Amino acid sequence: MSLLQVENLTVRYGAIEALRHISFSVNEGEIVTFVGSNGAGKTTTMRTLSGLVRASAGKIRFKGVGIDTLASHQIVKLGLVQSPEGRLVFPDLSVKENLLLGAFARPASNGELQHELEHVFALFPRLKERINQDAHTLSGGEQQMLAIGRALMAKPALLLLDEPSLGIAPLLVQQIFQKIVELNKKQGTTILLAEQNARMALKIAHRAYVLEVGEIVQQGVAADLLNDERLQKAYLGG
């Protein structure tokens, strides 16, 4: 059974059909990526999974449970946790306060919280060095680490990452993508990654879906898609 199973999902914003009957799945232990250009529907997909946008048709099952009608905090509690596009951290709160807010949905003792914090700091040592610094004073890349770290504080079974490369220098993007791989390999966290940077995403993912104006136009093993002629022309500058 897939960890996440989505069937025939359709999402409308008024007259605009942002997603048209898309079906996809994510299995436990996988990194799955959604690649596609601006406006393809990547963020809409993530926000619908998180219960922030309601589908007009389709089914979403997570751990075998229908989550289409659940509130976002209930979805987080089940273990489906999003790190949103644009690294939405709380600018005037410290690194530590931002991280602790990530654990809001589950009751945790101080000891447990401390343990989770150490866990995040092991992955992102830079955050530990800046633990009492206000989030707005962090660099873009560090804020992205903080956004991911905050999502990890919720102990995700499935982590949704929406464009972690957005607005970040190439070298840092590489570092962050290495961390994503580390998270998946060492801790077995299952990851769904939305990216415009198709090359980077396909390099680290196991499987991929290509989204074009609300429809899945291609899917398969990421390494195969990396060598696919049509995809190279459209997304990989080849």
Ligand X SMILES: Nc1ncnc2c1ncn2[C@@H]1O[C@H](COP(=O)(O)OP(=O)(O)OP(=O)(O)O)[C@@H](O)[C@H]1O
In the complex, the residues that contact Mg ion under the rule CB under 5 A are 42-43, 85
Looking at the Cβ atoms of 13 and 104, the one nearer to ligand X is 13
Question: Which of ligand X, Mg ion, none does 44 bind, CB closer than 5 to 8 A by kind?
Answer: ligand X
Of 220, 212, 217, 193, the C-alpha closest to 204 is: 193
Per DSSP, 52 falls in state S
Looking at the Cβ atoms of 54 and 185, the one nearer to Mg ion is 54
CB 123 within 8 A of CB 149: yes
Looking at the Cβ atoms of 16 and 223, the one nearer to ligand X is 16
Go through the chain and tell me how many residues it has: 238
| Least distance from Mg ion to the Cβ atom of residue 42, Å | 5
Helix (H, G, I), strand (E, B) or coil at 55: coil
Looking at the Cβ atoms of 88 and 122, the one nearer to ligand X is 88
Per DSSP, 97 falls in state H
Question: CA angle at residue 234 from 231 to 235, to 5 degrees?
Answer: 75
Q: Which residue has the tokens 């998946």?
A: 184
> What span, in angstroms and rounded, lies between the C-alpha atoms of 222 and 67?
27
**CA distance readout (Å), 186 to 119, 137, 182, 201:** 12, 30, 6, 19
| Least distance from ligand X to the Cβ atom of residue 172, Å | 19
Question: Which of Mg ion, ligand X, none does 16 bind, CB closer than 5 to 8 A by kind?
Answer: ligand X
CB 62 within 8 A of CB 4: yes
| Least distance from Mg ion to the Cβ atom of residue 162, Å | 6
**CA distance readout (Å), 78 to 15, 66, 110, 136, 188:** 32, 11, 21, 30, 17
Question: Which of ligand X, Mg ion, none does 207 bind, CB closer than 5 to 8 A by kind?
Answer: none
| Least distance from ligand X to the Cβ atom of residue 41, Å | 4
Question: Which of Mg ion, ligand X, none does 18 bind, CB closer than 5 to 8 A by kind?
Answer: ligand X
Question: Which of Mg ion, ligand X, none does 97 bind, CB closer than 5 to 8 A by kind?
Answer: none
| Least distance from ligand X to the Cβ atom of residue 82, Å | 13
Looking at the Cβ atoms of 127 and 147, the one nearer to Mg ion is 147
Note the residues at the interface with ligand X (CB under 6 A).
13, 16, 18, 36, 38-44, 85, 196
